Structure 1
Amino acid sequence: MFKSICMNMVLFYQNFLSPLKPRSCRYYPTCSEYALWQLNKNSLIQALCLIIVRILKCNPFFKGGFDYPRIHKDFTIANACFQPLFLAQTRLKFIYIPCDYKHFYLIKIIF
């Protein structure tokens, strides 16, 4: 419930407030897109903590660049099996790139 409220607040910011200011984001993905990805894939408390850290890093003292969300995910045989595209229930939206044991970078597919 509260997670969907937070996601709607970020979407409101992206659609109505963000177009009013110039594009000057230091990171890719932008902080608002990063917030949506974190809220979509992590628990609420963990996502809020990571979003706050990301927003605090958005200043001239940090270099910026690529900062993909890191998520914790346990893959089992049941959810690690891949299906052909014509058998898939939903479209593939994210790619999980391994970075540590059970931690993955989250990359969004845009095509």
Structure 2
Amino acid sequence: MIIRRFFLKLLWLYRHSFSLVTRGSCRHYPSCSEYALWQFECNTLPRAFGSTFVRILKCNQLFRGGIDYPMIGKPALKPAELSVNTIKYWFVPYQQNYFLIKNFKFKGSQC
């Protein structure tokens, strides 16, 4: 948990300082830093590292880019009260995994 929090802080630092220089240069949606943030919030650390590493490698002119939502192994626990305002991510099943899609109306901070 401490390691996850450390990497989330590093991502926050990158997104609020270094990425201001390169804003809008990512070839994918969500951006690579947002993709990494979602991975580290909702996946195991090894899978988050692996997925983020592959995503960063694909962020160049040799790949097409476009919409590339993160995949997770299993969804997080459901909140006690379910409404559009309490759900941070939507989990869309695909084969044995789930696509992770952000809910833009969410006001909290839990996965």
| Structure 1 residue 22: Cα displacement | 4.0
User: Which runs of 5 or more structure 1 residues have no equivalent in the other structure?
Assistant: none
> What is the TM-score with the length of structure 2 in the denominator?
0.83
Letter paired with 2:89? F
What's 2:108 paired with?
none
Match of 2:7 in 1: 6
Partner residue, 2:54: 53
Aligned residues: 104
How big is the alpha-carbon RMSD for the aligned residues of Structure 1 and Structure 2?
2.4
Query: Which residue identity lines up with residue 48 of structure 2 in the other structure?
Result: A
Q: 2:29 corresponds to which residue?
A: 28
Structure 1 consecutive aligned stretches of length 4 or more whose deviation exceeds 2 Å: 79-85
Q: Does residue 1:15 correspond to 2:16, yes or no?
A: yes
- The equivalent of 1:63 in structure 2 is 64
**1:109 corresponds to 2:103:** yes
Name whichever structure is richer in helix by fraction: 1
Superposition deviation, residue 20 in structure 1: 2.0
Give percent identity, aligned residues only.
Answer: 37
Aligned partner letter, 2:33: S
Which structure has the larger Rg over C-alpha atoms?
Answer: 1
* Structure 2: gaps (5+ residues): 106-111
Matched to 1:23, the amino acid is: G
TM-score if structure 1 supplies the norm length?
0.83
